[in-house]
């Protein structure tokens, strides 16, 4: 399925991106709530599940805050304008409030660091929480962003296919970047069907692996 990730920390559930497969993902891998959504960028495969937030609004009886850079929030507003209901709560639709972020911020005691990345010519975000970093849909990491990716236990990194792509790391580029960043463990995500999980996975360095639907990682809080 199209990629998203749920972070559980300090009693909070933070969702990164609302993928087009969000409904199926939550039916198969349920979570009790969503405290906030962090958006990497506003391409369809990362935002078109947003309408499914309405169920969580209904259960939680509250507006869900969403975070992203200026371009991302503006694009989401243009597509899902009906969902920006704050300060009112409107039953029957997704209820979200927008928060533009450019630097480190906190959500109820959880420290989050946006990581500037390039997706082709688009400036997008990865996110770091503790010693975990999530960097999908990236074709280049600006030099200044490497300082934000030091001392990681787990890195999740884009690796679309074997051949070069204008807006994504190829597998070999992703391996090179993973080795440069030096996380204890790297998981590759956003793979196309061209990559064979077993065959290509056997060729990866020992501290690199392909992610998969339902993968659960337990990390120590730092």
CATH number of the domain that residue 155 is part of: 3.60.15.10
Query: Is residue 135 domain-resident?
Result: yes
**What is the rounded CA–CA span in Å between residue 112 and residue 124?**
15
Neighbours of 156 (CB within 10 A): 25
Tens digit of pLDDT for each residue in 25-47?
A: 999 999 999 999 999 999 999 99
Which of the listed residues 52, 76, 101 is the one where a domain comes to its end?
101
Tens digit of pLDDT for each residue in 168-186?
A: 999 999 999 999 999 999 9
Neighbour-count burial for 120-149, b at 16+ CB within 10 Å, e otherwise: eeeebbbbbbbbbbbbbbbbebeeebeebb
- For residue 35, the 8-state DSSP code is -
Which residues span the domain enclosing 203? 109-212
Three-class SS of residue 56? helix
**What is the rounded CA–CA span in Å between residue 146 and residue 21?**
31
Task: Please spell the DSSP secondary structure of 69-83, one letter per residue.
Answer: -HHHHHHHHHHSGGG
Same domain, 21 and 97: yes
Q: What is the pLDDT of residue 220?
A: 81
Same domain, 73 and 14: yes
With a pLDDT cut of 70, the percent of the chain lying above it is 99
With a pLDDT cut of 90, the percent of the chain lying above it is 97
Which of the listed residues 101, 118, 149 is the one where a domain comes to its end?
101
Tens digit of pLDDT for each residue in 138-150?
A: 999 999 999 999 9
Tens digit of pLDDT for each residue in 195-214?
A: 999 999 999 999 999 999 99
Same domain, 131 and 204: yes
| The total number of structural domains that make up the chain | 2
- For residue 180, the 8-state DSSP code is H
Same domain, 49 and 121: no
């Amino acid at each position: 399925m199209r990629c998203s990730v749920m972070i559980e920390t300090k009693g909070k559930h933070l969702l990164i991106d609302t993928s087009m497969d969000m409904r199926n993902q939550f039916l198969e891998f349920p979570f009790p709530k969503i405290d906030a959504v962090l958006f990497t960028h506003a391409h369809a495969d990362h935002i078109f599940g947003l309408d499914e937030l309405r169920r969580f609004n209904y259960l939680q009886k509250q507006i869900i805050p969403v975070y992203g850079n200026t371009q991302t929030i503006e694009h989401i507003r243009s597509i899902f304008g009906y969902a920006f209901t704050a300060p009112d709560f409107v039953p029957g639709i997704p209820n979200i409030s927008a928060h533009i972020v450019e630097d480190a911020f906190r959500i109820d005691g959880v420290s989050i660091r946006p990581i500037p990345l390039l997706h082709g010519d688009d400036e997008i975000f990865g996110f770091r929480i503790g010693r975990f970093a999530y960097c999908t849909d990236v074709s280049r990491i600006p030099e200044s962003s490497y300082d934000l990716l030091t001392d990681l236990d787990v890195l999740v990194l884009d690796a679309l296919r074997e051949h070069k792509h204008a807006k994504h790391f190829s597998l070999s580029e992703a391996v090179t970047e993973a080795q440069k960043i030096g996380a204890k463990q790297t998981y590759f995500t956003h793979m196309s069907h061209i990559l064979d999980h077993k065959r290509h996975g056997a060729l990866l360095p020992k501290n690199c692996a392909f992610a998969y639907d339902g993968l659960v990682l337990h990390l120590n809080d730092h």
